[in-house]
Amino acid sequence: MIIGVPKERKVHEYRVALTPQSVRVLVQRGNKVIVEKNAGVGSKIGDEEFRRAGAKIVESEEELFKSSELVVKVKELLPEEFPLIRKDQVLFSYLHLAANRELLEALKKSGVFAIAFETVELPDGSLPLLSPMSRIAGRLSIQIGIHFLEKTGGGKGVLMSGAPGVKPGKVAVIGGGTVGYNAVLSALGLGAEVVLIDINPRKLEFFHEEFGGKVKTLPSYPDLIKKELKDSDLVVGAVLVTGDKAPRVITNEMISEMESGSVLVDVAIDQGGCSETSRPTNLDYPTFDVDGVIHYCVTNIPSLVSRTASYSLSNNILPYVLKIADGKVEEDEALKKGINVDRGRLLLRLD
């Protein structure tokens, strides 16, 4: 199969979907790989490295899409890229269609076969192609939060660890999946007081047993969320209902009752965000203010650590790229769940 890897066009998107290591495996298995010029530069991977791995470098995105049977990229297509996709081509990338009706319509119209990383699902319900980036975004959510809590970041000036005789900062994490778990680990590492809220009692059980008394666990009831948010310094939005819009568990009222200078990092923004006050931002202008609460709603957080993220993503998607290239999508139940649009037909259940 002819596999194409374009350069990402989203603002400050520095990741590349396949690294030279993965390209070499694909080429050894009889595929042809083409990579757009400078596609890896943001991850410190030069064209020469791709060439050495057996890829052909092409000059333009147009040429890449025209020549590829399978396009593997990181982020969803931007409107200016919609005309590039074509009938019977396979597109394999993050899509987040529940939060992007414009892209959904474009994919349907094009006749493309679109498989979304984020809905590839193993029999146990886990999401093997979302979790590598969620792990990274979860760790970063705390790093980002502590930066904006500093005075020069616009925050209230709180040190997470506290100081002798001074209480630590408080972090509330809503959603105890991959993002939530990694956010909790980082927050605990800094010495913060941590609260984890999830709708699934099994998740609460897990956190309670894993962290003993160090993490307070609570069910996802509006009254409890409201109470916890009031005195939280940093809130991490990490909820997900696979393939669907994020549930709006944080209301305007809850935000208005938080202390000014507090921070909300809404990682779930790629699925629409879990606060009524959230709207997507980018790495150029990552934050905005609502009632004095700093909102960080960047849809491509892992791009901040592009090199780590590219290698992690590429390692995880490679087995699935090989299956697609071998024409074995229908034989793999996890991959089948990733099919969002099949030549004009929407297979994802949306409200």
Residue 342 is a catalytic residue:
no
Annotated catalytic residue within 198, 266, 270, 295: 270
Answer for which of 247, 276, 292, 347 binds ligand NAD (CB under 6 A) is 247
Annotated catalytic residue within 96, 198, 233, 295: 96
Cβ-closest residue to ligand NAD? 177
Of 110 and 271, nearer to ligand NAD (C-beta) is: 271
For residues 333-344, b (16+ Cβ closer than 10 Å) or e, as one string?
ebbebbbbbbee
Answer for which of 173, 239, 264, 324 binds ligand NAD (CB under 6 A) is 239
Does residue 130 touch ligand NAD according to CB under 6 A?
Answer: yes
Of 241 and 350, nearer to ligand NAD (C-beta) is: 241
Q: Any idea what DSSP says for residue 76? A: P
SS3 263: strand
Nearest distance in Å: CB 172, ligand NAD: 11
Greatest C-alpha distance within the chain: 65
Answer for which of 178, 217, 306, 340 binds ligand NAD (CB under 6 A) is 178
Is residue 171 a contact partner of residue 194, using CB atoms and an 8 Å limit?
yes
Is residue 229 a contact partner of residue 291, using CB atoms and an 8 Å limit?
no
Does residue 265 touch ligand NAD according to CB under 6 A?
Answer: no
Does residue 301 touch ligand NAD according to CB under 6 A?
Answer: yes
Of 47 and 206, nearer to ligand NAD (C-beta) is: 206
Answer for which of 31, 43, 271, 278 binds ligand NAD (CB under 6 A) is 271
Answer for which of 22, 131, 262, 316 binds ligand NAD (CB under 6 A) is 131
Neighbours of 281 (CB within 10 A): 18
SS3 per residue for 13-38: CCCCCCCHHHHHHHHHCCCEEEEECC
Within 8 A by CB and 6+ apart from 163, the residues are none
Answer for which of 112, 238, 250, 321 binds ligand NAD (CB under 6 A) is 238
Does residue 300 touch ligand NAD according to CB under 6 A?
Answer: yes
For the range 213-217, what are the long-range contacts, defined as Cβ-Cβ under 8 Å and sequence gap of 24 or more? 214/188, 215/184, 215/188, 217/176
Within 8 A by CB and 6+ apart from 40, the residues are 16, 19, 20, 46, 47, 49, 50, 310
Does residue 200 touch ligand NAD according to CB under 6 A?
Answer: yes
Does residue 121 touch ligand NAD according to CB under 6 A?
Answer: no
Nearest distance in Å: CB 284, ligand NAD: 15
Of 34 and 116, nearer to ligand NAD (C-beta) is: 116
Residues in the chain: 351
Does residue 31 touch ligand NAD according to CB under 6 A?
Answer: no
Distance CA 302, CA 339 (A): 24
Residue 270 is a catalytic residue:
yes
Q: Any idea what DSSP says for residue 279? A: -
What are the residues binding ligand NAD (CB under 6 A)?
118, 127, 130-131, 133-134, 137, 174-180, 197-200, 203, 220, 238-241, 246-247, 249, 267-271, 298-302
Catalytic residue list? 96, 270
